[in-house]
Amino acid sequence: MILEAIRKRQSVRSYQDKEIPEDVLQQILEAGRLAPSANNKQHWKFIVVKDDDLRKKLVPACKNQKFIGEAPVVIVGCGTDPDYVMTCGEHSYSIDLTIALDHMSLEAASLGLGTCWIGAFYQDQVKEILGVPEDVRITSLMPLGYPKVLATKTERKPLSEIVCYDKYTS
């Protein structure tokens, strides 16, 4: 079942003009809430942008990707403790939020909705539009809606190219 949602998920850049029922949206958000995080700290907040004007204001802050303003919802992932560093030396917020947003993306795909990862945005502009405090980091935005057009699936590398056993090999 999970592998089916993974295979179904793709980046959607064209959305129907159709509202997402509140119970469906809550189910998608719940998938993110249940995601694991470093030390179970859950140093995150998700801004659910439904307001038409706010979504349209996000477009220039996201390098004029117009579909962001056309999706009925945009979920914004915010790291509330960007200074927390894991033992491995990595800041946890970007990894934790990636896991949580991926959970949401897969739940959305399983329910027939589409998403797109947005990393091309201007942090300061999005913060100003959405009233995000200076000490909080936005990792990504994720438009959410019913797909109007599905893109052609991209090829994935075979396992033999990306998996090593026991030690790293080139």
Nearest-angstrom CA–CA distance, 51 and 82: 27
Q: Which residues contact 57 (CB under 8 A, 6 or more apart)?
A: 129
Nearest-angstrom CA–CA distance, 136 and 79: 6
What single-letter amino acid sits at 24?
Answer: V
CA distance to 13, 30, 141, 153, per residue, from 149 (Å): 8, 26, 20, 12
> What are the DSSP calls for 29-86, one per residue?
HHHHHTS--GGG---EEEEEE--HHHHHHHHHHTTT-THHHHSSEEEEEEES-TT-B-
For residue 152, the model assigns a pLDDT of 77
Instruction: Read off the pLDDT of residues 73-117 as tens digits, 9 standing for 90 and up.
Output: 999 999 999 999 999 999 999 999 999 999 999 999 999 999 999
Instruction: Read off the pLDDT of residues 105-157 as tens digits, 9 standing for 90 and up.
Output: 999 999 999 999 999 999 999 999 999 999 999 999 999 999 998 777 889 99
Average pLDDT, the chain: 96
Domains of the chain, with CATH numbers? 2-162 (3.40.109.10)
pTM above 0.85, yes or no: yes
Nearest-angstrom CA–CA distance, 170 and 153: 27
Q: Please check the confidence at residue 163 and state whether its pLDDT lies above 80.
A: yes
